[in-house]
Structure 1
């Protein structure tokens, strides 16, 4: 069993990445294709099958015992289906069934991309050694996942910990999800940029209106840019504090493009957290940047597959 490896897929709106990963989390083989996100569902799944076929051509493939998928969501692990917002051709698409067939019948474990990044951070990143953690991705959207009692907690459908759609502003702006005042509607990169522009922030000569450009302006002291990040930090703090109060997490790990703003985000976030995480059992909550980088989705999908494989083997043995 120590020699076993797992296959992993990280499926998003831009790329479909695949890897063979050993028990130490080392990536042995990689494969990648662009996601034909605007094509029909069959075209998209053919790109996934091409990645699996490339992995299967590796001499390491014979040691693969399971396959993990971290996919953009929503996902439904209980049904093995995915309906990613940014892949319109996939609605309740039977991804697990198709990938199992393409892999020659390997057991397949499906989780959402936020849960995958959580698995990676708990295995090899900033949440390592913590039994109760929230890990978040703050980027184009805001996603997340939970570790509870030392184990990944994906929930029945694979979406537990989706902090981006906790409402933190009861009368806030409508969110595309259908609710109001969601964390994502305030703290995602595009919404940070939108709020800064609405407030009168002017981009530089290059015309860059991204959240990264707003972060640079905030770092240089622009008050409108700084205020937009402070509002995002407040929304994140309220969501993190609510989660901590509910399930007693010890650490919140934040990754994604917006987290690269550094102290522009983390300083007001830690300040705001003092206003929201007030009960004795959440006051010592640690907030820290993620560590696992661009391979987090693959490493997390592999971790979930290894965990499911080990649990199945233990069940058979018991």
Structure 2
């Protein structure tokens, strides 16, 4: 049996997932509960998906069939797509437009506290959570100046500098998806032009490939086309990879990073994505402190977001 547990909650543009995570960063497989989110849902439907995921976990902690001792639970960690309002516990995920300044921390607390009275509920942006996870048990172990990135439906990120998280006053520091990439004018949902998310996310890369004449419709199909040598698909991944690399170079120039760990569904589209990202960073030939940065795939598979949310509880000493 674990010595302590955290309830981890990950909320993104396509799903919400909750699980129990132990003090070693292991997700307890039988505890995972997933429900859909998405642009087509109302604000209340999104809220009910969150409640349902949490209730699935709580059912394992109470009643005659409880699988785990509720007394082991140290807190609830929430990783949510941004932007967030850290002080107020509210979220405004770009890919969930019906939630604007939504009181997510209150929703989770109201769901959890009837079963686990008074337990702490900690909210941070999902990019910061994934960075904590990589620093704890993932590809960035042993490094204290880390950026984690998610390249998926959107592009997010977070920072650990000097061994501690850097959320910024609003909780949105490290949101690299909305750094603008020179030479691009793709419109972004945030209102900017040429943001990394607008250029290199999975859906936007597929859109660009479609505009060039490619006929597929998903990131998975694009990955297969790259593997088959389709020239448009190959160029699409090059375009996305170079944009990722240019954003990383800018971030490394600003905050002097040791390693960038990249996860998320679209990060698996092809190894070429990483090759082009590294090549773009290598162009900063006069800045050795920039070109030294390591760009590595996530070491956490699909568990990273949940582990990161749990790290808000298990690694609370690092959480600013």
TM-score under structure 1 length normalisation? 0.88
Say if 1:44 and 1:212 are closer, same or farther in 2 by CA, change over 3 A: closer
Partner of 1:316: none
Partner of 2:311: 303
Say if 1:39 and 1:273 are closer, same or farther in 2 by CA, change over 3 A: closer
Larger mean Cα displacement after TM superposition, 72-81 or 23-32: 23-32
Partner of 2:3: 3
Contact map agreement 1:215 1:226 (CA 8 A) in 2: no
Say if 1:4 and 1:273 are closer, same or farther in 2 by CA, change over 3 A: same
Shift of 1:277: 6.2
1:184 alignment partner, SS class: helix
Contact map agreement 1:80 1:94 (CA 8 A) in 2: yes
Contact map agreement 2:156 2:177 (CA 8 A) in 1: yes
Partner of 2:64: none
Partner of 1:225: 233
Q: Distance in 2 between matches of 1:41 and 1:17?
A: 17
Contact map agreement 2:13 2:153 (CA 8 A) in 1: no
Shift of 1:218: 2.8
1:141-167 deviation digits (Å, cap 9, x = unpaired): 111111111122222232211111101
Partner of 1:252: 260
Q: Distance in 2 between matches of 1:51 and 1:264?
A: 36
1:89 aligns with 2:98: yes
1:254-306 deviation digits (Å, cap 9, x = unpaired): 11122212322122222222114640212211111112111211110000122
Contact map agreement 2:241 2:272 (CA 8 A) in 1: no
Say if 1:35 and 1:170 are closer, same or farther in 2 by CA, change over 3 A: same
1:72 aligns with 2:81: yes
Shift of 1:33: 4.1
Contact map agreement 1:4 1:22 (CA 8 A) in 2: yes
Q: Distance in 1 between matches of 2:93 and 2:253?
A: 30
1:42 aligns with 2:72: no
Shift of 1:222: 2.7
Shift of 1:39: 4.0
Give the total of aligned pairs.
Answer: 305
1:115-160 deviation digits (Å, cap 9, x = unpaired): 2211111111111111011111111211111111112222223221
Which residue, out of 266, 288, 292, partners 2:296? 288
Q: Distance in 2 between matches of 1:120 and 1:311?
A: 12
1:239 aligns with 2:240: no
Say if 1:238 and 1:113 are closer, same or farther in 2 by CA, change over 3 A: same
Contact map agreement 1:10 1:301 (CA 8 A) in 2: yes
User: How big is the alpha-carbon RMSD for the aligned residues of Structure 1 and Structure 2?
Assistant: 2.2
Contact map agreement 1:219 1:264 (CA 8 A) in 2: no
Partner of 2:123: 110
TM-score under structure 2 length normalisation? 0.87
Say if 1:39 and 1:222 are closer, same or farther in 2 by CA, change over 3 A: closer
Say if 1:54 and 1:238 are closer, same or farther in 2 by CA, change over 3 A: same
Q: Distance in 2 between matches of 1:39 and 1:270?
A: 38
Q: Distance in 2 between matches of 1:3 and 1:176?
A: 43
Gaps of 5+ in 2: 62-67
Q: Distance in 2 between matches of 1:274 and 1:43?
A: 46
Contact map agreement 2:261 2:298 (CA 8 A) in 1: yes
Say if 1:272 and 1:199 are closer, same or farther in 2 by CA, change over 3 A: same
